[in-house]
Amino acid sequence: MSPRHRPKALLVMQDRVFPEQFGPAELERLRTLADLGPDPTPVSELDSPAARARLADAEVLITSWGCPRLDRDRLAAAPHLQAVFHCAGTVRSLVSDELWARGIRVTTAAEENAEPVAQFTFAAIVFAGKKAPFLAQAARSHREDWAYKHRSRAQLGNVDRTIGLIGFSRIGARVAQRLLSLQVQTLVYDPFVDADRIAAAGARRVELEELLTSSDVVSVHAPQLPSTHHMLAAPQLALMRDGATLINTSRGSLVDTTALEAECASGRLDAILDVTDPEPLPAGSILYDLPNVMITPHIAGSLGAETRMMSRRALTELALYTEGLPAEEEVTSEAMGVMA
Ligand code: NAD
């Protein structure tokens, strides 16, 4: 490959995603780095004759939310494809065995997406320490009687608390870093990360049982895998301290919703949920109505201009490719066994 190789590129993403993720600066950089051909508009599917004609020429794909799986049939229609630069987090929905077998380079913007989730989680932990979302709910019924806050005041605050992080993932590690600014003890459960790395982040590696029994706030950051399905079911939730808060910004399926409903309905546990199972929850779910549950509609990850940070990551990876250099955030089939 020559140093200033300019590959033919095709953008594959949902229509609504493209203008959000590619502003004038990102488009200009893309045009400098790659040949978008006579029709630079993105495609949102890869099966129509028009999309297939463009896929046939493409050497690289710039993908984002809505890119269909690059399966055997679609790959057969992409004989020149060498690289996929993903402008979002997980590539799980687009990769396939055939893609790995072809040795196609795949990169992710999960590091960039981790940042807003870590910010959101840190805010949620601080709010959980003061039970802010739940006291805010109660304010609606207490109006001028703010003395209700004194009833639980002794248990409020963010000093000398224990925060448990499940998964020392990109996000989990960033949250641990931010927790250094609080006077708290941080415990981490991640069977795939050694204790020294966790200790270097000012936290202590523990088993899941110790984390659950010791933490005032438990925040979930493990990926959705067969091995993590319902990793927090009734027996695990039962280990959590009375009055503890569960924060889930990872994936809903890691928590057994029915078991969580029971623990929150009894008032024993509180919850801050950015993700649920199913997602969204059915209209009749009790979790919508409980005063000790805060639900946000999967907003912790990149939104609005935050998503451009992910496009810039993909463009950096494209630039490295055009210079014949290794990727910085490459995804491998082996890594997919433990990553989001
Ligand atoms: P990542 O790929 O960096 O996570 C991998 C980590 O999880 C590794 O450290 C691995 O050792 C650990 N892990 C694997 N199995 C585990 C287990 N059984 N118990 C504990 N740890 C385990 O993940 P990430 O990019 O930081 O994402 C973390 C989670 O956040 C994922 O579930 C992801 O889907 C989710 N996410 C949510 C949003 C949102 O908008 N709410 C946005 C981005 C990511």
Give 100-154 pLDDT, tens digit per residue.
999 999 999 999 999 999 999 999 999 999 999 999 988 888 888 888 888 776 6
pLDDT for the residue 104: 98
Q: List strands edge to edge, sheet with 105-107.
A: 9-12, 60-63, 83-86, 105-107
Q: Ligand 1 pocket by C-beta < 6 Å: which residues?
A: 89-90, 110, 113-114, 117, 166-171, 189-193, 221-224, 227-228, 231, 249-251, 274-275, 298, 300-301, 338-340
Name residue 248's beta-bridge partners.
220, 273
- For 236-274, write each residue's pLDDT tens digit: 999 999 999 999 999 999 999 999 999 999 999 999 999
Atom 39, ligand 1: residue with shortest CA distance:
301
Q: Residue 2: is its pLDDT beyond 70? A: no
pLDDT for the residue 154: 65
Cα 219–111–223 angle (5° rounding)? 45
- For 9-35, write each residue's pLDDT tens digit: 999 999 999 999 999 999 999 999 999
Out of 169, 170, 310, give the residue to mutate to test ligand 1, the one with the largest number of ligand atoms within 8 Å of its CB: 169
pLDDT for the residue 3: 52
If you measure from the C-alpha of residue 5 to the centroid of ligand 1, how many angstroms do you get, rounded to a whole number?
35
Distance CA 302, CA 318 (A): 21
Q: Which domains does the chain have, with CATH numbers?
A: 9-107+304-337 (3.40.50.720), 114-295 (3.40.50.720)
Ligand 1 nearest-atom number relative to CA 251: 32
Q: Residue 175: is its pLDDT beyond 70? A: yes
Distance CA 141, CA 135 (A): 10
Ligand 1 nearest-atom number relative to CA 110: 25
If you measure from the C-alpha of residue 104 to the centroid of ligand 1, how many angstroms do you get, rounded to a whole number?
24
Q: Residue 1: is its pLDDT beyond 60? A: no
pLDDT band for position 188 (50/70/90)?
A: very high
What residues act catalytically?
251, 279, 298
- In the chain, % of residues over pLDDT 90: 91
pLDDT for the residue 148: 83
Average pLDDT, the chain: 96
If you measure from the C-alpha of residue 74 to the centroid of ligand 1, how many angstroms do you get, rounded to a whole number?
29
Identify each DSSP E strand in 46-179 by its residue range.
Answer: 60-63, 83-86, 105-107, 159-166
Hey, is 220 helix, strand or coil?
Answer: strand
Q: Residue 201: is its pLDDT beyond 60? A: yes
- In the chain, % of residues over pLDDT 70: 99
Hey, is 63 helix, strand or coil?
Answer: strand
Distance CA 73, CA 266 (A): 51
Q: Residue 4: is its pLDDT beyond 80? A: no
pLDDT for the residue 143: 87
If you measure from the C-alpha of residue 222 to the centroid of ligand 1, how many angstroms do you get, rounded to a whole number?
4
pLDDT for the residue 35: 97
Which of 35-44, 148-157, 191-200, 246-255 is least confident? 148-157
